[in-house]
Amino acid sequence: SSEVLEAIENVVLNVLTSLGNQKAPVLTVANRSDWRNIEFKDSVGLQMIPCCTIKKIRSDCSTSAPKFALMLKILSMIYKMVQSNTYATKRDIYYTDTLLFGSQTVVDNIINDISCMLRIPRRSLHILSTSKGSVAGNLSYTEEDGTKVNCTCSATVCIINSNNLISHAKFILIVEKDATFQRLLDDDFCNKLTPCIMITGRGVPDLNTRLLVRKLWDTFQIPIFTLMDADPHGVEIMCIYKYGSVSMSFEAHHLTVPSIKWLGLLPSDLNRLNICKDALIPFTKQDQKKLASIQKRPYVTRQPMLKRELEIMAASKMKAEIQVLTSLSSDYLSRVYLPNKLQFGGWI
């Protein structure tokens, strides 16, 4: 708490010093969307370099002055929350003055910029985010208020503040889509093969889901596999869990798990399983653009098997959802595909 308060006080002191010197105050923030600010490390994933390009939020410029004011506004809110040991969600902050902020996206971006500027993880700023992710399977824990939670009984949202995690799981399976997650729960997949933990971020994972994956890895050190669609969007999501994202690269050490394996659905699986071409979906221009972008990323050049799978996808210009396996049989995913993959290998 004292570190957060001191960091905010330093920002305000710089603003006051500038005003005292009759200069327009400026806030300096790392450019989180610039790939030139990112380096790839096998042990971490995508992380922001120390000497990165910056953007200046000026108070005397008509285009940036509104953002300057909003950053000070949210900094003052954070300061009060840390002092009083209270918390608020990003949604709560937006609704304190919807006319002032304009949109939830504006608030979200400013909070990330503040976290990056102060070099303090967002969760330490007393700002919470609601989670869209779910976790189920062989996992139990005790919440701070003493409530015992057993994820074996039902799916639980991916907000776990407790460090008292208990599990006998042999692996963790991250599932891209909620529909597939629910189907595997209906098939009792978490218990049929061997005890496991299943997680879904319902598409692109939010911060809480990524934090949970990292916490489970740090706690149990068991294999983590991903089950994604065989398309550029699925590959992107897998890479976020494994290597991180550009916009959150300043928090990479808390969010990424480079040891994550891509279990499926692999582009090479489509040929191996003789999936009918009529069941595949042609690429859109957006798909081609996304795949080309992924193929240029630094971690692809260091992963020959990943590179090969992307080349297969690019050559076919076809994509497939996990549900394509139902063309073989209704329960092929849980009865055949996943057990064979987990027993005999075939992941990246």
Kindly write down the DSSP assignment for every residue of 66-107, as one continuous string.
HHHHHHHHHHHHHHHHHHHT--EEHHHHHHH-HHHH-SHHHH
- pLDDT at 227 (0 to 100): 93
The pairs formed by 308-316 with CB atoms below 8 angstroms and a separation of 24 or more are 308/268, 309/262, 309/266, 309/267, 309/268, 309/348, 310/235, 310/267, 312/267, 312/268, 312/271, 313/230, 313/231, 313/232, 313/235, 313/267, 314/288, 316/267, 316/270, 316/280
- pLDDT at 326 (0 to 100): 84
- Residue 69: partners with Cβ closer than 8 Å, 6 or more residues away: 59
* pLDDT tens-digit readout, 113-163: 898 888 888 778 888 777 788 888 888 888 766 778 777 766 676 666 667
The residues annotated as belonging to the active site are 95
- pLDDT at 73 (0 to 100): 93
Among 3, 18, 2, 92, CA closest to 57: 18
pTM: 0.79
| Domains of the chain, each with CATH number or no CATH | 2-128 (1.10.10.10), 134-344 (3.40.1360.10)
- pLDDT at 70 (0 to 100): 93
Residue ranges in the chain modelled with pLDDT below 70 = 34, 51-53, 144-145, 153-155, 157-162
> Strand 224-227 relative to strand 171-175: parallel, antiparallel, unpaired?
parallel
Q: How far is CA 312 from the centre of its chain?
A: 26
The tokens describing 232, both together, are 């550029």
- pLDDT at 334 (0 to 100): 85
